Amino acid sequence: SAVISQKPSRDICQRGTSLTIQCQVDSQVTMMFWYRQQPGQSLTLIATANQGSEATYESGFVIDKFPISRPNLTFSTLTVSNMSPEDSSIYLCSLLRVAGGGDTQYFGPGTRLTVL
């Protein structure tokens, strides 16, 4: 398993502001990810956070809106910039733990964001 913490656990923000979410994991991992889970929906991958290089974004997500940092192998941040009510979601970080015969993804507890 894995121990993953996220801060803040929830926040209520005003339109036009930005929020940075932190993700801390208990051991060094190569691959970390950021997901969005909109109300009543499944998970959508935003990007892969690469240590020492720029994040790799999925279609529909751009760095200007969701800048990501990965300064080391146990920490990453996701910023939601210039927020609008449509950004209200749960944001989840995850890591991929490599194990012979089946790498497994573990998730943090999530950050519940409400944009007014």
Partner 1 sequence: AQSVTQLGSHVSVSEGALVLLRCNYSSSVPPYLFWYVQYPNQGLQLLLKYTTGATLVKGINGFEAEFKKSETSFHLTKPSAHMSDAAEYFCAVRLNTGNQFYFGTGTSLTVIP
Pick 14 or 42: Cβ nearer partner 1 = 42
Kindly state the smallest distance separating residue 19's Cβ from partner 1, in Å: 18
**Contacts with partner 1 in 35-74 (CB under 8 A)?**
41-43, 45, 48
- Does the footprint of partner 1 cover residue 102 (CB under 8 A)? yes
**C-alpha span between 85 and 94 (Å, rounded):** 24
Q: How many residues does the chain have?
A: 116
Q: Quote the CA–CA distance of 13 and 107 in Å, as a whole number.
A: 24
Name the minimum Å distance from CB 43 to partner 1. Answer: 5
For 3-15, give one letter per residue: b (16+ CB within 10 A) or e. Answer: ebebeeeeeebee
Closest approach of partner 1 to the CB of residue 66, in Å: 18
Does the protein bind partner 1 through residue 29 (CB under 8 A)? Answer: no
Residues 95 and 34 sit within 8 Å (Cβ to Cβ): no
CB nearer to partner 1: pick between 19 and 110: 110
